[in-house]
Each structure stands twice: as C-alpha cells, then as structure tokens.
A and B are shown apart, each in its own frame.
Chain A
Amino acid sequence: MTEKIDKLMEYLQFPAVRYAIIVGLLISLCSSLLGVTLVMKRFSFIGDGLSHVAFGAMAIATVLNVTDNMLIIMPVTVVSAVLLLRTGQNTRIKGDAAVAMISVGALALGYLLMNLAPKNGRTSANLSADVCSTLFGSTSILTLSQKDVITCVVMSAIVVAVFFFFYTKIFAVTFDESFAKATGIRSDLYNLLIAVVIAVIIVFAMNFVGSLLISALIIFPALSAMRVFKSFRSVIVCSVIISLFCASMGLLLAILEGTPVGSTIVAADIAVFFIFSIISMVARRGEK
C-alpha cells in the first residue's frame, strides 16, 4: 500500500499529472451540473451527438490546417447544440432521431475528411491513433499546457456561475416548459443558454475523456442521484458529488495502474450507479 502511495506522490511531482487532475475534476463538475436537466428533457444522448459534431469540426480544422482548432470546433458545436435543442420541441424530426442523425453523420464525415486530407507528414497508422485518441481521449489529458488549465478553470467558473444564477429558471423550464412560457418566462432563451453551456462543456470534455465517453460523464451521475434523492436540489448536489468522487477514483486508478483515463472514470461511474440502484431497491423494500 505504502508503495502505491509513494508511486502516487512521485507522479504528483509532474505538473502534467497535476494539471490532468485539476482539469478532470473541473470537467466532471460541469458535466454533472446539467445532467439532470438533459436526462429529464430526454436529451441524454446529446453529449454523444455533440461530441461527434466536435470531432467532425476537428477534422475540418485539421484539413484546413487551422492552427487553433478551437476557432472552428467551438462555433460549430454551439450552433449544432442550439439547433438540436430547438428542433427537439416542435418539428418533424424528433429529438432522439435528430441527435442520432447528427451524431452518426458528423462522425462519418469527420473520419472521411481526415482520410481524404493531405497527410501533413504523418502516416496512416498515425491517423487511426489520432482518431482513437479523439474518441477515447487516451493521452491528450497528460499533455495539457498551463494555458489549457487556465482556460478550463475560467470556463468552469462561468458554467457554475451561470448554473447558480439561473438555477430557478432552469428548474422551471425543465419541469414544465409550457407553464413557464405561459407565465412569461422566456423559455426559448433559457433553452438556448442550456444548449450553449452544454456545447462548451462537451468541447472541453472531449480532450479529457474523448468524445465517446462524454455522455457517460453527463448521464451516469444524474441517473445515480435520481435513484435515491427526492428533490431537484439534492439530486443535483448528489450528482456533483458522485461525479467528483468517480473522477478522482478513476484518475487515481488510471495513474497507478496505467489504465486509460476516460474508461476508468466511466467504469467508476457505472459502479456507483449499480450501488445506488441497490440502495434505492433496498430503501423501497424498507418502505413497504
């Protein structure tokens, strides 16, 4: 055991590891905040859809040889999020179908583009490694610069502030959009806000767990918390705690055992989900 702790301490000497831990925890915090809202709005899969859009945008950025990928990825993802959440309400293509369409489409086109593009001096083996790390976020978290960390801290602060400031409105719009609208709440505006925030979170989270696992970060803490807790506030507080706990556990394990960061964190989330399911079953038995 002491051996492990020594090993951990040794790793913590490296700034890259410290950065990874900070960024990992912040992203878990942000993604868990909006999880409940997205699950209740039947947009559980938006994380997946948007991260694929972000992947497609990244492919475009690579092909165009843009130096700062974010300049393309961020606007494209935000616009897609806005369109998705808007079409979810009142159009011919319903929410789940729209998300599925965009998600698969962007993934396929992105991969196609990356293959067609001039190789920029890399081999095709490198390409699949690139794709793999985009999807599963295997290594990039350990190559974060100090600037990345600062950006992430600022972004998280904004997300938390927005959530805190609009908490009551987000609740009203999530619970009952038509009532909120009828009483003069500008629900379109808040839907837009939710869409933009979620897009920003996803673009940042992509570097961390990779686009395939973002949905898990958003959904699992919320679903686990919803099993046990009974008020909106306690569900949100609990899902934040679960998310932070799972992220720390996952990061520690990944550092010590050398497992992929994203998958390890999600595995921890899944474990907690089962524990909470059992707790809720036992609690329900107890009531009867």
Chain B
Amino acid sequence: MSTLLKCEDVSLGYEGSVVTKGLNFTVESGDYLFILGENGSGKSTLIKALLGLKPQLSGEINFVGEVKKNEIGYLPQQTMVQRDFPASVKEIVQSGCVNRCGIRPFYNKEEKKLAKDMMERLEITHLANRCYRELSGGQQQRVLLARALCAARKMILLDEPVTGLDPKASNEMYELIDGLNKKDNITVIMVSHDMNAAVKYAEHILHIGGKQKFFGTKEDYLNSKIGKAFLSVMGGEDDD
C-alpha cells in the first residue's frame, strides 16, 4: 500500500474564522476512509479543500504518486437544479469524461466506451436513454457515481451519498461502494454522519469537529472514548 494523500496540520475556514484546525491524516491506496462529524464541523469545507475548490488557511494537502489534484472522482450532494434536469443518463455519465477532452469538442470512442463500461459496472445500462429526472433517488445516485468513476478511477470522494434514499436503496448504495473499494481497488473517502455504515464498512475513520478529534483505524475508534460517545448518540437515532 502506498500513500495517496497526506494532510499536515491543515486548518480550514472562511476569511477570519477558522472552522476546523489541526487536521493530520493520510489516505493509503485502497483505503476506505469515513469522515465523521456533526453539521457545521467543517466536513464540507474539508471536501472543498481536498478537491481544490477552496484553499486551506494553513498547512499542506499533498497528493502523492499516482493521484494528482483534480483526479478525484467526486459525488456531490444533489442540487435542486439537477432533480428536474432534462438530460439522459448516458449524457450525464459521459460528462464525467469532459476533463479528458481538453479542447476537443466531442467525446472520442475511448471515452464513450469508458462511460459504457461504468454504466455496466453500476448496473444502469438499461437506463442509458432514460431521462435523469424520471429516475428514483437510488438510480440517480448510481448515475452520478458512474460519472464520478469516468472522471477518476483511483480515488472517489462521496459527500453523504445516501441522503434522501430509502433504507433499501441506501443499503444497495453502500454495498456498491464497498464493491468498488474491495473488487476494483478504488480508494474511497466518504463524508457521512451515518455511524452504522461507518462501523460496517470503514477501514479508517477521521472524526472532526472544530479540530481533529480522532484519526485511526475503525477498531481503535470503536475503543476510543470519542468513538464510544459518538456511537451511543448517533447509533441510536440513525437507524433510518
């Protein structure tokens, strides 16, 4: 296993106000990292920083070796605009390849094949010509995940991927992501406050809230004070 991402003493925030500080963690190739934290703890700021959308206030975020900046497949939270967007599944998945095009105006064969393969991998080939806005929440998330995989094959970053899904669809989504991690050896970083899923799937856990509260393996986390406290609070109410 090689290190893909290294964060050293990173602090994040908006001009003048620090949201979270003292972040020190590494992500190894093939890792499955859960980033936990309550609302307002700086999770989404961290995502933006990792994706290079927003600079950190201080510290270093470094991508090492095979992954470069802008090579993270990103599954953002859905926006209202997308819910009624007139586009076919195929068009959306293919749009994950846009960054490969450079100034070429249209997709080449290779990119179309990549999009097709990803649709097959996520079992949405039969939906290819359906309209995105007509799909169920779970299907929409699969489409966006396929698009993310077109953009980057090594590492994906998922921002609360099961928000708004029913329990069955949530489970399917988690299993799918787990499969990508285990079978396709894709490094996964997931932001969530779903403690149960973290316990089930995570390899490492990063818990933030104003500062770094914990970083380590899941086993260590479950034995730690903060882990036990968080589990007793969140575990009970997050059953849905």
Q: Which of A169-188 contact B (CB under 8 A)?
A: 169, 171-172, 175-176, 178-185
Binding site for B on A (CB under 8 A): 36, 40-42, 164-169, 171-172, 175-176, 178-185, 225-226, 229-233, 235
Query: Are B147 and A231 in contact, CB atoms less than 8 angstroms apart?
Result: no
Report chain A residues within 8 Å CB of B99.
Answer: 183-185
Report chain B residues within 8 Å CB of A226.
Answer: 86
Q: Which of B73-114 contact A (CB under 8 A)?
A: 73-74, 76, 79, 81-82, 85-88, 90-92, 94-96, 98-99, 101, 105-107
Binding site for A on B (CB under 8 A): 51-53, 70, 72-74, 76, 79, 81-82, 85-88, 90-92, 94-96, 98-99, 101, 105-107, 129-131, 134, 144, 147-148, 151-152
In the bound complex, CA of A217 to CA of B105 (Å):
27
Query: Are A183 and B105 in contact, CB atoms less than 8 angstroms apart?
Result: no
Report chain A residues within 8 Å CB of B96.
Answer: 183
Report chain B residues within 8 Å CB of A179.
Answer: 74, 76, 144, 147-148, 151
In the bound complex, CA of A103 to CA of B170 (Å):
45
Query: Are A230 and B131 in contact, CB atoms less than 8 angstroms apart?
Result: yes
Min C-beta distance of B85 to chain A, whole Å: 6
Closest to A222 in B: B86
Query: Are A168 and B107 in contact, CB atoms less than 8 angstroms apart?
Result: yes
Closest to B94 in A: A168
In the bound complex, CA of A231 to CA of B133 (Å):
10
Query: Are A232 and B105 in contact, CB atoms less than 8 angstroms apart?
Result: no
Find the residue from B52, B53, B72, B98 having the highest chain A CB count within 10 A.
B98
Query: Are B129 and A231 in contact, CB atoms less than 8 angstroms apart?
Result: yes
Report chain B residues within 8 Å CB of A164.
Answer: 105
Query: Are A178 and B53 in contact, CB atoms less than 8 angstroms apart?
Result: yes
